[in-house]
A and B are shown apart, each in its own frame.
Chain A
Amino acid sequence: MTSEATMPSALVLPKRRWRVSFGWLALYLNVVLAFVFLYAPIVVMSIFSFNASRQMQVWMGFTLDWYVRMLHDERVRIAAQNSLIVALVSTLVSTVIGTLAAMALERTRFRVKRLYEGAMYLPIIVPEIVMAIALLVFFNLAFTWLDRLFGLQLNFGLGTITIAHIAFSFPFVAVVVRARLADFDRTLEQAAQDLGATDWQTFRYITLPLLMPGIIAGALLAFTLSIDDFVITFFNAGVGSTTLPLEIYGRVRRGITPDVNALSTVMLLASIVLVLGSLLLQRRRTA
């Protein structure tokens, strides 16, 4: 009995709130420290983006100079523009073919289905660096042959980046949409057909709207994957097709300056807004 009374019991919730056991204290401490660990780097980075000093070790007063400078920076503008173009096109294409693939996997039977399914998961598992160099090698070879056979002069650029992004994004869309399709109530479609709806009407007014939250979630995922990607973009970019992550990488490599902090902080805020926005959107849809 006595040993049980002194033993820190972390696994049962304390019966009385004010007698928090040693075990729970340790657990709470772990949570607090983990949150400090997760947030300290990005918070420090954001704070120092307002630092007036060029040397970053000391705080020299508040300034918005780095942000103003960034707004007038032509390279940043072009990089942001490139990132957006690639992300929009890649999201559009991967959402469409990903949704179609999900329908194929969930709604039809065909001979090589297991193989198709397996191949679909491969881009998710294969290390990024391997996919990056595989595409580099492929485009290099394809461009050589297109030039040799048809005299077609193609080069690495936004096109190759977009194709690569679609290749790694659409399986994610397919997975998300497929999950939605799997717990889809098919009696709704049958009911529509019983009431005289044509196939097209059933798809347009029943299937598609019910699938929409999954498709939107998939599209958001594809957009985030594209805009965040560094490794695959790095190996498949050409002259003048620098995206935001590539621009940041280049600057970090050249030496750390506060303008990188400002750019990074803007990207940080953008992703927070995007995530919270999509969460709110989903909540409203399910409510």
Chain B
Amino acid sequence: MVVAERVRPDQQILKWRERIVEVIRQREGLRALLLAGPGGLWLLLFFLLPIAIVFAYSFAHRGPYGTVAWAFTIENYTRFFDWLYIRVFLVSVWLALLSTIICLVIGYPFAYVIARAPRRWRNALLVLVLIPFWTNFLVRTYAIMLLLRADGLINNALLWLGVIERPLPMLFTPFAVVLGLVYGYLPFMILPIYASIEKFDFTLVEAAQDLGANTWHVFWRVLLPLTLPGVLAGSILVFIPSVGAFVTPDLLGGGKVVMIANLINQQFLTVRHWPFGSAVSFVLMAIVLAATMLYFRLGEGRRV
């Protein structure tokens, strides 16, 4: 092709842009690199590398003044088998499990009612569930603190009613922590269960009843098995953030209920034993990984 006239500069720019786009289009490898590159780099530098450093630290010694001394040891992991730390581990898993079960017991019937509500109500109800959830987590935890305090609304109401004579100690107890976790993560349970009940074919209920099943049979043998994917997804979504929770036990447990995240925080910011803190972090990651794998196992077995 012969270019007859002189090209205007802005047209020149347009031409170049087309050319660059053309080259990118033809070479898929280059295109993938340009698209995936920035995210990949960020992930590598500010996520994978930091995690790798923590992993390396977990096998190091604690140096003087809270520094890290590079000499290989597995002491940080064996140290975890002290009853003091095993207790923290057990308390975390137990409180997270309890919160998950309570969320399930409240969340399943809740999701059921929403899913069976008239269509135009459903979205409104879901938004109502989500509004507190979209509020800052710290703000919500603080709101719970206000209610549970010795001079909080609940104690005042109970005193006024004459149910109790002295304020009940509710704040800074495991009860407060579980309440905070359920409050924080209940929507995580409701939404997946809602999604699976909404997809459920309710003519199956009629079929079961025609065959003589009563309400309990219908629930245990038909509805629950077929909505189990939602139950499992909700449970894992509540359990994982609960077992690693930091703010909830910190504010509502007030140092009396110590969970794994509080132990990590303490090792990093107060005691300054970074290698041990790193090892505890990897124990927490192992728990989360185990829970995730269990989830996929159960899910696979169900999907026949």
A230-287 with Cβ < 8 A to chain B = 230-231, 235, 244-245, 248-249, 252, 256, 260-261, 264, 267-268, 271-272, 274-276, 279
Q: A57, B152: Cβ atoms under 8 Å?
A: yes
CB distance from A100 to the nearest CB of B (A): 5
B110 on the interface (CB 8 Å rule)?
yes
Q: A97, B42: Cβ atoms under 8 Å?
A: yes
B10 on the interface (CB 8 Å rule)?
no
Q: B106, A41: Cβ atoms under 8 Å?
A: no
B9 on the interface (CB 8 Å rule)?
no
Q: A198, B18: Cβ atoms under 8 Å?
A: yes
A251–B244 alpha-carbon span in the complex (Å):
24
Q: B268, A268: Cβ atoms under 8 Å?
A: no
Interface string of B190-203 (1 = CB under 8 A from A): 00000000000000
Identify B139's interface contact among A98, A104, A108, A268, CB under 8 A. Answer: A268
- Name the residue of chain B whose CB is nearest to the CB of A264: B139
Q: B109, A129: Cβ atoms under 8 Å?
A: no
- Name the residue of chain A whose CB is nearest to the CB of B223: A11
CB distance from B67 to the nearest CB of A (A): 10
A123–B51 alpha-carbon span in the complex (Å):
10
Interface string of B80-120 (1 = CB under 8 A from A): 00000000000000000000000000100110111010000
Dominant SS among interface residues on chain A: helix
A149 on the interface (CB 8 Å rule)?
no
Identify A137's interface contact among B54, B110, B128, CB under 8 A. Answer: B54
A209 on the interface (CB 8 Å rule)?
no
- Name the residue of chain A whose CB is nearest to the CB of B107: A34
B132 on the interface (CB 8 Å rule)?
yes
- Name the residue of chain A whose CB is nearest to the CB of B289: A125
Q: B219, A174: Cβ atoms under 8 Å?
A: no
Q: In the assembled complex, which residues on chain A have CB atoms less than 8 Å from the CB atom of B109?
A: 26-27, 30-31
Q: A130, B244: Cβ atoms under 8 Å?
A: yes
CB distance from B278 to the nearest CB of A (A): 7
Interface residues on A, range: 35 or more
Of the listed stretches A68-76, A150-158, A163-171, A210-218, name the one at the interface; the rest are far from the partner chain. A163-171
B49 on the interface (CB 8 Å rule)?
yes
Beyond A125-B288, A200-B17, A264-B143, whether A166 also contacts B42 by CB under 8 A is yes
B257 on the interface (CB 8 Å rule)?
no
CB distance from B207 to the nearest CB of A (A): 12
Of the listed stretches B31-39, B71-79, B296-304, name the one at the interface; the rest are far from the partner chain. B31-39
CB distance from B19 to the nearest CB of A (A): 10
Q: Name the residue among B36, B205, B206, B260 with the largest chain A CB count within 10 angstroms.
A: B36
B232 on the interface (CB 8 Å rule)?
no
B265 on the interface (CB 8 Å rule)?
yes
B164 on the interface (CB 8 Å rule)?
no
Q: In the assembled complex, which residues on chain B have CB atoms less than 8 Å from the CB atom of A127?
A: 240-241, 243-244, 261, 284-285, 288
Q: In the assembled complex, which residues on chain A have CB atoms less than 8 Å from the CB atom of B142?
A: 45, 248, 252, 256, 260, 264
A44 on the interface (CB 8 Å rule)?
yes
A216–B153 alpha-carbon span in the complex (Å):
41
Q: In the assembled complex, which residues on chain A have CB atoms less than 8 Å from the CB atom of B46?
A: 135, 138, 163-164, 166-167
B249-304 with Cβ < 8 A to chain A = 251, 260-261, 264-265, 268-269, 274, 277-278, 281, 284-285, 288, 292
Identify B47's interface contact among A3, A31, A55, A131, CB under 8 A. Answer: A131
Jot down 9 A-B pairs with beta carbons below 8 A, ordered by A: A27-B113, A31-B114, A57-B156, A100-B34, A171-B43, A174-B39, A231-B247, A256-B145, A261-B146
Contacts A109-B32, A272-B135 supplied; 10 other A-B pairs, CB < 8 Å: A12-B205, A37-B183, A116-B36, A122-B47, A134-B50, A166-B42, A227-B136, A248-B138, A268-B135, A275-B134
